[in-house]
Amino acid sequence: MVIHVNGEQRELLNDIQTVSDLLNHFELADKKIIVELNANIVDSSQHEEITVQDGDRVELVHFVGGG
């Protein structure tokens, strides 16, 4: 499966099905994060239900404290 993550094309294994799987894959699961899937923000309560498909455009923005 090929999806676009933050503007970059990424080839992903097919066992990644949900937004949660995707966040685990990128080691972002424990972060405060805003997920946009094809220009729609996904509620954090739905990360385990919403699935990602080939060709999707995903934006992942996580909050960091440093400065």
Partner 1 sequence: MKERYSRQILFDGIGEEGQLKLQKKHVLIIGAGALGTGNAEILTRAGVGRITIVDRDYVEVSNLQRQQLYTERDANDRIPKAVAAQKRLREINPDIEVDGKIMDVTVEEIDRLVSNVDLIIDATDNFDIRFLINDVAQKYGVPWIYGGCVSSYGISFTVLPGETPCLNCLLETIPLGGATCDTVGVIAPAVQMVVAYQAAEAIKIFVEDFEAVRRKLVSFDLWKNEQSAIDVSRLKKEDCPSCGESPTYPYLSYENQTKTAVLCGRNTVQIRPPKKVNRDLNALVTQLEKQGGAIEQNPFLVSYHSENRRVVFFKDGRVLIHGMKDIVEAKKIYHQLLG
Chain residues 28-57 in contact with partner 1, contact rule CB under 8 A: 30-32, 34, 36, 39, 41
Interface residue with partner 1 among 5, 12, 28, 50 (CB under 8 A) is 5
Strand partners, 63: none
Q: In the bound complex, what is the minimum distance in angstroms from residue 63's beta carbon to partner 1?
A: 6
Owner of token pair 């949900």: 18
Q: What distance in Å separates the CA atoms of residue 30 and residue 8, rounded to the nearest whole number?
A: 22
Strand partners, 36: 41, 59
Task: Please give the residue ranges that form the binding site for partner 1 (CB under 8 A).
Answer: 5-8, 30-32, 34, 36, 39, 41, 59-67
